[in-house]
Amino acid sequence: MSRMIESRLTRRLVGTPPTLFLLIFFLAPFLIIAFASFQYPGEFGGLAPLTGHGNGDHGLTLENYQFFFSDFIFTEIFLHSLLVATLSTLLCLLLAYPVAWLIAHSARKHRDLLVLLAILPFASNFLIRVYAWMIILGPQAALAKAVNGMLALIGLEPVSLLFSPFAVLVGMVYVHLPFMILPLYTSLERHDPLWLDAAQDLGANAWQRFWRVTWPLSLPGVFAGSALVFIPVLGMFAIPDILGGTRDMLIGNLIKDQFLGVRDWPFGATLSVMLTLAVLALAALAGRAARQGRRHEQ
């Protein structure tokens, strides 16, 4: 009995700092933003006062949300952003998995160096890395010339690689790739090589060994990496700004414009709240799917 109390106490003590951290750095800002989304915009940007002196809008309102749902364009931007985030995550997973696997299966003494190489791009400035892609994808670069040369051969019009959804995707994947490699590597590196020996011994061919043993056992890494890629991509505005065309607007750009461009803070806050809710809903859905998948396995 006393041990139960003790363990409950331990759990509280251990659990309190992360809880506090979440309260201060996640819940509090979210509540501030959520509150702002029910306010009126101020006359010169910012927020209107809650109590007014006769002139101008004041107090609380649902107008921002009515506006969001009144025009389908916002939902469309949301869906488009989700699509870009999903595609980026899948591409990152596809590219990162073999890299992480190779690092995890290389000689122990080389692994640290290889991990370092994988995260080395972080050593240079984010904007410089993205601008570098402007040059690589630019119309004068070898890549664009090669692609358009080939298109010309089969009689197609030349295309612009830069300022296109393709360029945005390339930038997103490139910038976020290390976030996928690292959790995958930490997960794969912990795998006991004997699991694969056992699987092979029990009749599993190469594909079955991957699909039945390596892949399911790396799922924690897959989920962690996917979250680390999906969520930042969803809110990213710099890459679409630099590499995307004018028509390629994502939620991140929209929100940034509301706060810094149009200076309609309440509507920016509304968009932020909708984005957070969408992410939470997706996380809940993914969690449920994972649990159901596990139950189905049995």
Residues that bind other proteins (CB under 8 A): 192, 194-195, 197-205, 208, 212-213, 216-217, 297-298
CB of 47 to other proteins, least distance (A): 50
Smaller CB separation from other proteins, 89 or 187? 187
CB of 206 to other proteins, least distance (A): 9
Smaller CB separation from other proteins, 43 or 197? 197
CB of 196 to other proteins, least distance (A): 9
Angle at 135 between CA 132 and CA 136, to 5 degrees: 85
CB of 130 to other proteins, least distance (A): 39
Smaller CB separation from other proteins, 48 or 217? 217
Smaller CB separation from other proteins, 12 or 190? 190
Smaller CB separation from other proteins, 157 or 297? 297
Residues 6+ apart with CB under 8 A from 115: 103, 182, 185
CB of 63 to other proteins, least distance (A): 50
